[in-house]
């Protein structure tokens, strides 16, 4: 008798077989993905081919992935660097050139179209193609050699980079102009937000008038720490009740009065129920650097520290390298950081001279207000074709006025606005910085910096003989002066500025106190570089004071300042809040917390986070109340509002300390009530609506690192494979250790030229862009822990060799 399986057993058997088949398919797919990933790994050992090579070239790597290139000719080093950049970082290089040129849609589709249109208005590829033909023969040769190396590195891979497999795209060859586009993207990264802020300032001045504008936008104050010791004359006197009275404003427009409900922590509200969350301080893309002369070091040579603050990603924006030119006693070595896409050291030391950068916030642009009836023949028109993946290409009409693209329009008034920007002029680009590799003194470094074509930077120079100096690196133009240019739209007939000769550049060399420092703050008096939105001087002041605390310094003492979490600036707000709490019967827990605070922005501190939140919310409330009469209800919308800038701190603090009744938002009975209400909102926010104890709301919990790969942002499932581990961190924006979740110290360098063996260099995100590379994330853990890694490469673990064909 035959047993017939029951339908239930047959179904279970079929289900098991189906699951087994699916599991097998999944395993096969994982194996295929793994094989494809491995096939696109960079070549780390063996022989490589570099077209055009003049002499043998070797490329070694240490445990951190630092590339050590040894060759007899500068152009050969450029070829080798291009090769390793392409193999490790081609995808990131591609994104950089596409971003600057407005060509991301060809890779990502229509989702990138609006961004491409904004960038394409500046026609950077066209402008820089023209510029390449004007460069010196030496610059052209260097870019050609580098591009040749990049394309050799791309061709040498068994399979195209893994990112293109995921995106179903093919990488395009590298050209000389692409390297210039990488510099253009740095112009955007470092100056773009300042340009937008400049428009907002000019618009606010037009609407508010000079007196109120100067009060809302003071240009300096007691936190200043200029290198030349200059103090700005008082600007922006507090308005009288006759000039500006919020009580009258509220009476005239009751529908726009601000209100606050401490029961639910709703914050600012309009009668129509629109709320405004705390937008916070407008970001400043910045950096720190400082130097001490030989008189302040035990060995008699100068010391330099540099940490550049940028958005943090995986891999790092920088690439560690040593360029060794020649052999024996006549050889030259430069050690530091390169920028993939470019053939030169960006910051570093060559044994005789060290250099480092911070972003300089001069006024490198003008906004030109065009009349509503501008004759059509005064406008130049160009057609730009934008390729879009998966769709038909689109044509964009670009309009320019005297070479300045028209990038904004006010439909209500009919006015259009053209942007005149140094980065649109070809002379702003060259490869002079590459000469730092062989510079021997501060004097030579100053000459190179003042003729270099790059985004404007505060450059600090330190040489082995003990000299130090500061100047602006990048091409400068002559400013019209604050009365004619700061926060003002320029007339259509205004002349384009002339280039400033190097002899007129501001310079500070070998100051008597033996120290220099910059932190995106105002460096000098006068108007030689204008004011493009300097940062508050609190960070620079703390660095200056830290340097002054010791008669002599070494590498370790300079490195300690890079991780300084003492919150001297925020302590002033804690003191203000403590005085208010002493007059109040509420918030005993907060009062005790402030008293017990260690005064630092450490990850385990709750008081720092609370005081910081109160400050931001208070400044938000005052800025909204004081600008609402001029800018309207957009100020109550985080997405559209004009934000306050760093120096607004002075206006708000003066009002809080002097307590003028006519400047108090009418929803509050007193200035104490305003500050306490912001405290209530902050507590409600930190405790998640009173569902968690305040004691758990540490600064590190809010400030946990979030350093991601660009593709994991688009495909979150990849995060576990591509991103760096998140961890609580101390530090913040108005103190030396700048640290935010995805922004902060993109590198930390400390070096005395001639003592590179004692030099320190660390960076987040790692060296390689390939997740199977031994250098993916290499060095990140040490950076996150605040541990220094050596500037010079250690024992070589990988080795490539190339010979002339």
**Nearest C-alpha neighbor of 725 from the set 686, 781, 776, 683:** 781
Summarize pLDDT for 222-235 with one digit per residue, the tens: 999 999 999 987 67
**Over 50: is that where the pLDDT of 271 sits?**
no
Q: Are 401 and 421 in contact (CB under 8 A)?
A: no
Position 264 scores a pLDDT of 32
Angle at 18 between CA 15 and CA 20, to 5 degrees: 110
The mean per-residue pLDDT over the stretch 449-464 comes to 98
Confidence of residue 280 (pLDDT cuts 50, 70, 90): low
3-state secondary structure of 457: strand
Domain ranges in the chain with CATH number 1.10.439.10: 46-188
Label the pairing between strands 57-61 and 798-802. antiparallel
> Quick one: average pLDDT of 189-199?
94
Q: What is the pLDDT of residues 568-590, one digit of tens each?
A: 999 999 999 999 999 988 899 99
Q: How high is the pLDDT of residue 637?
A: 81
The C-alpha angle with vertex 65 and arms to 186 and 752, in degrees rounded to 5, equals: 70
The tokens for 714 are: 């688009």
Residues of the chain with CATH 3.60.20.10: 287-291+305-310+334-363+429-555
Mean pLDDT of the region 63-77: 97
Q: Which DSSP category does 157 fall into?
A: S
Who wins on pLDDT, 540 or 267?
540
At 252, the pLDDT band (50, 70, 90 cuts) reads low
Is residue 366 a contact partner of residue 420, using CB atoms and an 8 Å limit? yes
For the stretch 122-133, pLDDT in tens is 999 999 999 999
pLDDT higher than threshold 70 for residue 419: yes
Average pLDDT, the chain: 91
pLDDT score of 433: 98
- Band (pLDDT 50/70/90 cuts) for residue 282 is low
Residue 257 has pLDDT above 50, yes or no: no
User: Confidence class of residue 23 from pLDDT cuts 50, 70 and 90?
Assistant: low
Whole-angstrom distance, CA of residue 745 vs CA of residue 735: 12
- pLDDT band, very low/low/confident/very high, at 260 (cuts 50, 70, 90): very low
For residue 442, the surrounding DSSP H or E stretch is: helix 442-451
Please state which of the four CATH numbers 3.40.50.80, 3.30.300.30, 3.40.140.10, 3.60.20.10 is assigned to the domain occupying 287-291+305-310+334-363+429-555.
3.60.20.10
Per-residue pLDDT, 310: 95
Please state the length of the chain. 805
Write the pLDDT tens digit of every residue in 594-618.
999 999 999 999 999 999 999 999 9
Find how far residue 585's CA is from the centre of its chain: 44
Distances (CA, A) of 40 to 140, 718, 733, 801: 30, 18, 39, 20
Residue 259 clears pLDDT 60, i.e. is over it: no
The radius of gyration computed from the CA coordinates of the chain, to the nearest angstrom, equals 28
- Looking up tokens 């390298």 gives 321
Q: What is the mean pLDDT of residues 458-470?
A: 98
Q: Is the pLDDT of residue 86 over 60?
A: yes
Q: What is the predicted pLDDT for the residue at 262?
A: 33
**pLDDT number for residue 267:** 33
With pLDDT > 70 as the criterion, what percentage of the chain qualifies? 91
State CA 67 to chain mean position distance.
25
How much is the pLDDT for 309?
A: 97
pLDDT of residue 141: 98
- pLDDT at residue 755 is higher than 90: yes
Residue 744 has pLDDT above 70, yes or no: yes
User: In terms of CATH architecture, what is 46-188?
Assistant: Orthogonal Bundle (1.10)
User: Could you report the per-residue pLDDT of 368-409, keeping only the tens digit for each?
Assistant: 999 998 899 999 999 999 999 999 999 999 999 999 999 999
Among 245-249, 439-443, 620-624, 669-673, name the one with the lowest average pLDDT.
Answer: 245-249
Structure tokens at 195: 């340009």
For 515-563, the pLDDT digits (tens) are: 999 999 999 998 888 899 999 999 999 999 999 999 999 999 999 999 9
């Amino acid at each position: 008798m035959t047993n017939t399986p029951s339908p239930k057993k047959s179904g279970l058997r079929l289900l098991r077989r189906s699951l087994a088949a699916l599991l097998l398919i999944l395993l096969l797919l994982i194996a295929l993905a793994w094989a494809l990933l491995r096939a696109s790994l960079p070549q780390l050992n063996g022989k490589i081919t570099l077209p055009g090579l003049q002499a043998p070239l070797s490329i070694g790597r240490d445990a951190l992935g630092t590339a050590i290139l040894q060759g007899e000719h500068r152009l050969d080093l450029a070829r080798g660097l291009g090769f390793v950049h392409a193999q490790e970082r081609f995808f990131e290089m591609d994104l950089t050139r596409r971003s600057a040129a407005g060509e991301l849609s060809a890779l990502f589709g229509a989702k990138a179209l609006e961004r491409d249109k904004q960038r394409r208005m500046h026609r950077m590829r066209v402008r820089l193609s023209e510029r390449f033909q004007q460069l010196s023969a030496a610059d052209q040769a260097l870019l050609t050699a580098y591009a040749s190396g990049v394309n050799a590195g791309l061709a040498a891979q068994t399979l195209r980079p893994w990112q293109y497999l995921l995106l179903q795209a093919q990488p395009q060859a590298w050209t000389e102009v692409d390297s210039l586009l990488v510099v253009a993207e740095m112009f955007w990264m470092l100056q773009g937000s300042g340009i937008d802020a400049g428009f907002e300032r000019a618009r606010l001045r037009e609407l508010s008038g000079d007196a109120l504008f100067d009060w809302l936008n003071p240009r300096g104050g007691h936190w200043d720490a200029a290198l030349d010791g200059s103090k700005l004359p008082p600007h922006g006197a507090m308005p009288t009740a006759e000039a500006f009275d919020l009580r009258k404003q509220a009476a005239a427009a009751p529908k726009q009065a601000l209100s606050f409900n401490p029961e639910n922590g709703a914050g600012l509200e309009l009668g129509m129920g629109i709320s405004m969350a705390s937008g916070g301080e407008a970001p400043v893309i910045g950096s720190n650097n400082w130097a001490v002369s030989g008189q302040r070091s035990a060995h008699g040579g100068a010391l330099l520290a540099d940490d550049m603050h940028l958005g943090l990603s995986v891999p790092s924006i920088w690439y560690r390298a040593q360029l060794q030119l020649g052999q024996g006693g006549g050889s030259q070595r430069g050690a530091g950081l390169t920028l993939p896409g470019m053939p030169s050291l960006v910051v570093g030391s060559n044994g005789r001279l060290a250099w480092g950068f911070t972003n300089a916030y001069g006024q490198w642009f003008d906004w030109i207000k065009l009349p509503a009836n501008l004759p059509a023949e005064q406008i130049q028109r160009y057609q730009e074709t934008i390729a879009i993946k998966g769709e038909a290409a689109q044509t964009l009409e670009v309009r320019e006025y005297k070479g300045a693209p028209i990038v904004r329009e006010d439909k209500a008034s009919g006015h259009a606005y053209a942007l005149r920007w140094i980065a649109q002029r070809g002379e702003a680009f060259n490869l002079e910085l590459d000469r730092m590799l062989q510079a021997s003194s501060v004097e030579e470094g100053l000459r190179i910096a003042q003729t270099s074509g790059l985004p404007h930077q505060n450059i600090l120079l330190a040489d082995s003989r003990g000299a130090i100096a500061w100047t602006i690196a990048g091409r400068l133009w002559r400013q019209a002066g604050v009365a004619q240019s700061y926060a003002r739209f320029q007339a259509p007939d205004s002349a384009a500025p002339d280039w400033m000769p190097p002899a007129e550049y501001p310079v500070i060399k070998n100051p008597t106190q033996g120290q220099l420092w910059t932190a995106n703050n105002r460096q000098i008096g006068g108007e030689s570089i204008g004011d493009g939105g300097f940062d508050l001087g609190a960070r620079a002041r703390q660095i200056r004071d830290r340097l002054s605390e010791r008669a002599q310094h070494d590498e370790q003492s300079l490195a300690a300042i890079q991780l300084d979490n003492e919150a001297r600036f925020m302590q002033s707000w804690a003191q203000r809040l403590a005085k208010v709490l002493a007059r109040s019967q509420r918030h005993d827990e907060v009062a005790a917390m402030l008293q017990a605070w260690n005064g630092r922005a450490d990850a385990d501190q709750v008081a720092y986070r609370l005081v910081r939140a109160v400050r931001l919310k208070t400044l938000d409330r005052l800025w909204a109340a004081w600008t609402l009469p001029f800018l309207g209800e957009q100020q109550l919308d985080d997405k559209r509002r004009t934000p306050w800038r760093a120096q607004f701190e002075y206006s708000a603090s003066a009002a809080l300390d002097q307590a003028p009744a006519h400047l108090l938002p009418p929803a509050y009975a007193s200035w104490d009530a305003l500050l306490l209400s912001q405290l209530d909102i902050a507590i409600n926010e930190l405790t998640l609506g009173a569902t968690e104890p305040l004691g758990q709301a540490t600064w590190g919990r809010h400030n946990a690192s979030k350093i991601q790969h660009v593709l994991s942002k688009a495909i979150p499932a990849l995060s576990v494979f591509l991103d760096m581990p998140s961890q609580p961190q101390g530090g913040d924006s108005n103190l030396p250790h700048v640290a935010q979740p995805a922004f902060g110290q993109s590198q930390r360098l400390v070096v005395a030229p001639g003592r590179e063996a004692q030099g320190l260099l660390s960076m987040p995100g790692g060296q390689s862009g390939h997740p199977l590379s031994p250098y993916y994330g290499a060095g990140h853990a040490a950076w996150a822990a605040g541990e220094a890694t050596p500037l010079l490469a250690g024992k070589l673990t990988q080795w490539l060799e190339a010979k002339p064909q």
